[in-house]
Structure 1
């Protein structure tokens, strides 16, 4: 039978008409219709497959004016739309579906807008990279593809354009560091860089879309994996000349006894006598340590790359002084090295015999440190005794401070970390 009459002037489905169309037996119809309309761009076209019980089949048949079987039935949306307009409801399928099931989403339109937005964001990113003078770099296409694939910027929504703008300014300021084969000095603190690029000292805080975008570019430019941890991200910032903050990066000191009567020098001597390790930060340097002397001319201070060496030195009873950079030096490490060299202190440095270790050593020696057990002779003596040492991660370039070292390492193809040379290093510290 036909749906009951309703005045065409009624703004909503009410009374008998609403009860007829909103009957529970028609729920499968409206669910299928809603899904198809949202996929169809809100066009009442095509068919839906609906499983109807006896009551539902009678209700649909009454609406369409035709016999409808029970079970799985295919129904044309055009037919339902026309029947509703002829019925007492006096309105089309879309209006009725909205009335009964709530607002519809034009998913085709949403996809088109999303695609348009994504294309716009990626175009802005390419323009930003070009403005930064980096468009010719071989990793740029991989950066754009990575951003497209991961949806890093489209997830930023309305702030995507701002994210690109901030990251582009940062890339421009760091462009020289991004294309250099030499590890740069930390010339920026991250809050300072953020203030310059975003007008907000927190604009490049860990986890922000802008910081992740800059780090993704840095990872591709330096050929390193995108870090997944906070320390890893700070290390990657350092690789492009940015110090994460004034308190995270440290220089570890053991047995350091600075001269002078200042409060910081006295404290460090007390800690050394008490057998305590000191973690010096850039914040400490700015407040006190930078105002006092660190050594005297001719004094020897040893320095290492890995904390395990310092730990072993402590256990062995070494008096020191021994400094540890903990990998790629933080800003405080370079600052202290510069001070010690200026004061005439003889700083002897040992690091890992691998590609990254030699890059760090080259950087430190260029600032005035001297090699400590880092010659081709030491490497050739140690490598054969360690057949299980891992292979090198790439070819070692020549280094001016150790003739023949690169040739020896490339020939033997063994990476020797500092721990492998503990016995000889500790012998020097006794």
Structure 2
């Protein structure tokens, strides 16, 4: 049996080096062992107490040191422990404070655990290239590791994240139901919960927006809505003008009265979910900003053709109304802001329903008056790929308000 394999006498070892006064020496040796460093060279204790001076002197058989610090050569301690039958410094430290995990081994085990925790998410993202840059962003920012520092907790969190993403975007689903069906907890996606933070960042990625968190509750509500998730049936609404539906239905009765009066109508998701039949319309103009609807009501009143405002990021109510109109055979004509946020909104509508651009092409953009500086991340414009290139080149945004006169002229001729 080698010296290192000799089992130290526990009582003798504690009397020799296991006291409180020499705990610093044992800890320094333990740190060296954990780093796989050799137990050679010196270690120093600044400002030692008299008790620590006497304990080290007794261990080494020397007079107590009088300097401002204590310095000891680890090789001397190792040899002393071997010569006294305690198997050396490694065996002594292990006997006194338990097995020492090496730092490299601890790191390797931790990284293995983290890779395992991320596996369900990686599998969920593998078939969705639109989430690729978001997945890389999670690694770059370390957000999941901050939200769940322990890999075991992270495995639960990321597994739930993968399940939720598998359900998004949704045609329409309440937030609590989505949470209950994917996580077994109706509150798992509540504000400030770690899972909600991650899911919202993924939804923003799906919309081609910045992945970072919004500051307001309204912005988060809109983000959920852009993926077809609504917080309740009454707060999710859509603004319309000139729309008609079966007058024998409650929804048709409301729309009929408002259209006859030339007044805009704000419909709730509750109303639209309770209307089960398609809404028939040949052509429906879509705009991004409520100012277009207000101006159309002022100028055209009852003569305004069907007009729907997506009001920024479409809510669940917007998606529900567009579905009813699409099922009824409607063709959509779309206009929005010429900025990257507007492009992202338009792209989400185009992906679901398709549309004819309504003065929303590269030619229209280049002919429009100059606006403020264009900011944000560029996105594709599949209805006219040259539009994205033109916006990148011109670097100016053009908001709908600057084109209001021409948009109203188009509506008056429809």
TM interval, short-chain normalised: 0.5 to 0.7
Q: Whole-Å Cα distance in 1 between the matches of residues 136 and 319 of structure 2?
A: 34
1:304 partnered with 2:290: no
TM-score where L is the length of structure 2: 0.63
- Does 1:65 find its partner at 2:61? yes
Paired residue for 2:383? 399
Distance across 1 between alignment mates of 2:211 and 2:197: 9
Per the alignment, residue 5 of structure 1 pairs with none
Deviations along 1:96-154, one digit per CA (max 9) or x if unpaired, are 976xxxxx895746x7345313223325635763477539x597598368437616256
1:48 aligns with 2:43: yes
Q: How many Å separate the matches in 2 of 1:350 and 1:374?
A: 6
Q: Describe the superposition over 1:34-75 as per-residue Cα deviations: whole angstroms up to 9, x where unpaired.
A: 355356339994543123355643443234320132211212
What is the alpha-carbon distance in structure 2 between the residues aligned to residue 157 and residue 74 of structure 1? 40
- Contact (CA 8 Å) 1:133, 1:172: kept in 2 or not? no
1:419 matched to 2:414? The reply is no
Q: Equivalent residue of 1:352, what SS?
A: coil
Residues 324 and 69 from structure 1, CA distance in 2 versus in 1: closer, same or farther, beyond 3 angstroms?
same
Which of 160, 168, 173 aligns to 1:166? It is 160
- 1:247 and 1:79, CA in 2 relative to 1: closer, same or farther beyond 3 A? farther
Residue 37 of structure 1 pairs with residue 22 of structure 2: no
In 2, distance between residues paired with 1:145 and 1:407?
25
Q: Aligned partners of 1:151 and 1:262: how far apart in 2?
A: 49
**Given that residues 303 and 348 in structure 1 are in contact (C-alpha distance below 8 angstroms), is that contact kept between their aligned partners in structure 2?**
yes
Unmatched segments (≥5 aa) in structure 2 = 1-8
Shift of 1:352: 1.7
Following TM superposition, by how much is the alpha carbon of 1:280 offset from its aligned partner in structure 2, in angstroms?
A: 3.9
CA distance, structure 1, for counterparts of residue 270 and residue 211 of structure 2? 28
Q: 2:139 aligns with which of 138, 147, 169?
A: 147
Contact 1:250–1:281 (8 Å) recurs in 2? yes
Measured at CA, do residues 277 and 170 of structure 1 come closer, stay the same or move farther in structure 2, by a change above 3 Å? same
**1:333, CA displacement in angstroms?**
0.7
Q: Deviations over 1:330-358 (max 9, x none)?
A: 33212213334666888764312346645
The 1:232–1:129 alpha-carbon spacing in structure 2 relative to 1, beyond 3 Å, is farther
User: Would you say the 8 A contact 2:10–2:95 is kept in 1?
Assistant: no
SS at match of 2:127: coil
- TM-score (norm. length: structure 1): 0.61
Question: Where do residues 14-29 of structure 1 align in structure 2 (5 Å cutoff)?
Answer: 26=21
Structure 2 counterpart of 1:390: 374
CA distance in 2, matches of 1:45, 1:359: 61
**Structure-2 change in CA distance of 1:235 and 1:40 (3 Å):** farther
Of the structure 1 ranges 251-260 and 61-70, higher mean CA displacement relative to structure 2 is found in 251-260
Q: Is the 8 A contact 1:48 1:74 kept in 2?
A: yes
Q: What RMSD in Å do the two structures reach over aligned CA positions?
A: 5.7
> In the alignment, what sits opposite 1:180?
none
2:288 and 2:337 in contact (8 A); partners too: yes
Q: Cα–Cα, structure 1 residues 79 and 113, in superposed 2: closer, same or farther, change >3 Å?
A: same
Distance 1:249 1:197, change over 3 A: same
Higher relative contact order (CA 8 A, sep 6+): 2
Q: Deviations over 1:195-251 (max 9, x none)?
A: 554455555555555555566666667754313126666666666x55254449733
Matched pairs, number: 385
What residue ranges of structure 1 are gaps of 5+ in the alignment?
A: 1-7, 99-103, 175-183
